[in-house]
């Protein structure tokens, strides 16, 4: 079922989770072990992130280095199909522009359609590790909106090969990313919001946000979206802080602020277990307030911490 249909039919705030594909060499069982306890909360869907390959330098026997492409977390389509089959729950693959040309994207979308997957989160992806700025693949997309438009064209039965007539129409519900604290490359929030509105006008069914730790930033973002004429559901993405290093890592990678009250409490912690307790309490408080605000869904980035997420979500039901 489409994410937008889940939301339209909901009688209460929905719950959804996000996972990373397993590291290469690990089995699908590692995903089930991660998800099993969380399924008790009857999530409406599970998101699966996408990770492009990295260029690395591998030392050879003669002491010289060889440039190699390493894909640490392969796949998304297979994991999504496995999750849907194993748990009878919807799964949402993240699709990115980076590293794909349009033909590869189309082939992957056709596979998803054959597997009965109704949802995709359409993203640009970040610059590859060896690049300063995002560079599209030759024959690929520069912005998420271009990927989204390709998905919408397929929904209209329009394939890249123009000799395909009366092509089967897919029925993907596509979500897009939004940034309560602005995407780091956008010159200001207004321009970022205009690009977000363009994605919604191009057919995005909902917005899923970057993580944030100050709910006021989310409330302001929702208000700014509504004022800009963006009327689709906005789903908050939530993540707990679980160690001190994240106080500098999260702002650096995700360009988000950590409120002083939270950073002060984390700084006082002596162990990671103490940090987890503080992070869990903060997450519970954030979730309760967002629920009261009337968000359609609470979406949790589980990222290797299913127990912390379990402890938080059990306080909500």
Residue numbers of the site for ligand FAD (CB under 6 A)? Answer: 49-50, 94, 96, 123-126, 143-145, 177, 183, 185-186, 192, 195, 208, 210, 237
Closest separation in Å from C-beta 112 to ligand FAD = 15
CA-CA-CA-CA torsion sign (158, 160, 166, 171): negative
CB of 149 to ligand FAD, least distance (A): 11
Distance CA 54, CA 128 (A): 7
Closest by CA position to 168, among listed 102, 113, 232, 208: 113
Nearer to ligand FAD, 123 or 283 (CB): 123
Give whichever of 34 and 94 is closer to ligand FAD, judged by the CB atom: 94
- Please state the closest distance from residue 260 (CB atom) to ligand FAD, in A: 24
Dihedral, 292, 229, 7, 210 alpha carbons, nearest 10: -70
User: Measured from the CB of residue 103, what is the shortest distance to ligand FAD in angstroms?
Assistant: 20
Contact 280, 311 (CB under 8 A): yes
- Residue 236 or 278 with smaller CB distance to ligand FAD: 236
Task: Please tell me the distance from the alpha carbon of residue 51 to that of residue 74, in angstroms, as a whole number.
Answer: 7
State the nearest-atom distance from the C-beta of 62 to ligand FAD, in Å.
Answer: 35
Which of 19/275 has CB closer to ligand FAD? 19
Q: Do residues 74 and 21 touch, judged by C-beta distance below 8 A?
A: yes
Q: Which is nearer to ligand FAD, 91 or 123 (CB)?
A: 123
Q: Report the C-alpha gap between 50 and 260 in whole angstroms.
A: 32
**Closer residue to ligand FAD (CB): 35 or 144:** 144
Do residues 298 and 287 touch, judged by C-beta distance below 8 A?
A: yes
Q: Cα–Cα–Cα angle for 120, 249, 57, nearest 5°?
A: 80
Rounded to whole angstroms, what are the CA distances from 110 to 24, 76, 91, 153? Answer: 24, 14, 16, 12
Nearer to ligand FAD, 121 or 278 (CB): 121
- Tell me the C-alpha distance between 230 and 292, whole Å: 21
Report in angstroms how near the CB of residue 311 gets to ligand FAD at its nearest.
23
In a 10 Å sphere around its CB, with 0-12 CB exposed, 13-18 middle and 19+ buried, how is residue 186 labelled?
Answer: middle
Return the half-sphere exposure (C-beta side, CA atoms, 13 A cut-off) of residue 206: 24
- The least CB distance from residue 134 to ligand FAD, in Å, is 7
The CB-of-21 to ligand FAD minimum distance in angstroms stands at: 9
Give the residue with the Cβ less far from ligand FAD, 177 or 313.
177
Distance CA(92)–CA(90), nearest Å, equals 7
- Minimum distance from CB of 107 to ligand FAD (Å)? 19
Q: Which is nearer to ligand FAD, 123 or 308 (CB)?
A: 123
């Amino acid at each position: 079922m489409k994410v937008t249909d889940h939301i339209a039919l909901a009688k209460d705030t929905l719950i959804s989770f996000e996972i990373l594909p397993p590291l290469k060499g690990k089995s699908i069982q590692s995903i089930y072990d991660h998800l099993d306890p969380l399924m008790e909360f009857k999530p409406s869907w599970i998101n699966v992130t996408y990770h492009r390959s990295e260029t690395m330098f591998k030392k050879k026997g003669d002491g010289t280095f060889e440039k190699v492409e390493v894909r640490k977390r392969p796949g998304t389509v297979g994991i999504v199909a496995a999750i849907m089959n194993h748990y009878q729950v919807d799964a949402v693959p993240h699709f990115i522009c980076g590293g794909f040309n349009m033909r590869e994207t189309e082939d992957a979308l056709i596979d998803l359609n054959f597997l009965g997957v109704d949802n995709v989160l359409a993203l640009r992806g970040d610059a590859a590790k060896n690049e300063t700025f995002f560079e599209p693949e030759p024959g690929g997309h520069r912005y998420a909106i271009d990927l989204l438009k390709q998905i919408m064209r397929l929904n209209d039965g329009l394939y890249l090969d123009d000799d395909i007539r009366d092509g089967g129409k897919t029925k993907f519900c596509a979500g897009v990313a939004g940034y309560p604290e602005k995407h780091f490359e956008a010159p200001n929030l207004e321009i970022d919001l205009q690009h977000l509105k363009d994605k919604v006008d191009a057919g995005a069914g909902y917005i899923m946000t970057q993580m944030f730790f100050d709910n006021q930033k989310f409330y302001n973002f929702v208000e700014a979206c509504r004022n800009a004429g963006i009327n689709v559901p906005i789903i908050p993405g939530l993540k707990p802080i679980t160690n001190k290093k994240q106080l500098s890592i999260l702002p650096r990678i995700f360009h988000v602020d950590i409120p002083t009250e939270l950073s002060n409490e984390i700084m006082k912690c002596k162990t990671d277990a103490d940090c987890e307790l503080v992070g869990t309490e903060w997450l519970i408080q954030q979730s309760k307030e967002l629920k009261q605000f009337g968000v359609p869904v609470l979406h949790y980035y589980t990222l290797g911490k299913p127990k912390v997420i379990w402890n938080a979500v059990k306080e909500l039901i």
